[in-house]
Amino acid sequence: MTDKDILPKLKKIVTPYTQNKTALENFSFETDFIKDLEINSANLVDVVLDVEDEFNIEIDNDSMDGMLTVGDAIRIIRNKKETSERE
């Protein structure tokens, strides 16, 4: 799974929680969930759960702590997928 595969799926996941819909138009690795998309912090947990379901991975709290931008999320998803595929 490449970053290009993950990006649109991630965009779909965050859209319902995004308060700044204009920022979705420039959705990229640098997009910040809280600063740019203005996702409420309680909804960040919803995003993490939806990501876990979509990519069939588990995101522990330490990884969730580092998930501030789209790029962070993609990195974590790929990391978790590689780990679970090895098992």
Residue with the two structure tokens 């790029």: 71
Q: Shortest Cβ distance from residue 8 to another protein (Å)?
A: 23
| Distance from C-alpha of 62 to C-alpha of 16, rounded to nearest angstrom | 25
Contact between 57 and another protein by CB under 8 A: the answer reads no
Contact between 48 and another protein by CB under 8 A: the answer reads yes
Contact between 82 and another protein by CB under 8 A: the answer reads no
CB-CB neighbours of 35 under 10 Å: 12
Tokens of 85: 């595929």
Q: Which residues bind another protein (CB under 8 A)?
A: 34-35, 40-42, 44-46, 48-49, 52, 61-62, 64-65, 67-68
